[in-house]
Amino acid sequence: MELISTHPVKKSDLGFHGNLFGGKALAWIDASAVSYAMQLCDTPRMVTLSIDSCLFEKPAREGQLVKIYAKPHSVGNTSVTFYVEARAHNVYTGDQKTIVKTNIKFVRIDEDGNAIPLSERVKLKINNLIKNQTNG
């Protein structure tokens, strides 16, 4: 999986129980993953189509880093789906624990917001990334 972003957990990111607020983690995941989709698909015209159920496994706390990793899971005619993990990173030990994981799908759109096909070159590039993950 590729590291696609890192965020420090600040006091303003915490919920009622002193843990990273789940909505903040999801916003970070969405913004990071769409940036990755734009990069891989060679276009800024990518939008979130769906986020699968999210399993919140562990909390992240103030002072930790949240590192977000992604890998392409599948590619369709107009869309790409990524498997994404957010991990709490302890800056003292380097230990990482998965805090939330999900699949997130993005679709390429035209200027009117209609889905349009990804280029064949992009689909080939993403399919090669997926193939290399299973072989490597």
Q: What is the pLDDT of residues 18-67, one digit of tens each?
A: 999 999 999 999 999 999 999 999 999 999 999 999 989 999 999 999 99
Task: Please give the pLDDT value at position 136.
Answer: 53
Distance CA 23, CA 116 (A): 30
What is the residue type of 20? L
CATH of the domain at 115: 3.10.129.10
**DSSP symbols for 43-69:** -S-EEEEEE---EE-S--BTT-EEEEE
Task: Please give the pLDDT value at position 61.
Answer: 94
Model-level pTM? 0.92
Domain that holds residue 82: 2-135
Mean pLDDT across the chain: 95
Residue with tokens 């965020």: 7
Question: Do 5 and 28 touch, CB atoms closer than 8 A?
Answer: yes
Question: Do 66 and 7 touch, CB atoms closer than 8 A?
Answer: yes
User: What is the domain count for the chain?
Assistant: 1
Distance CA 6, CA 69 (A): 9
Task: Please give the pLDDT value at position 135.
Answer: 66
Task: Please give the pLDDT value at position 87.
Answer: 98
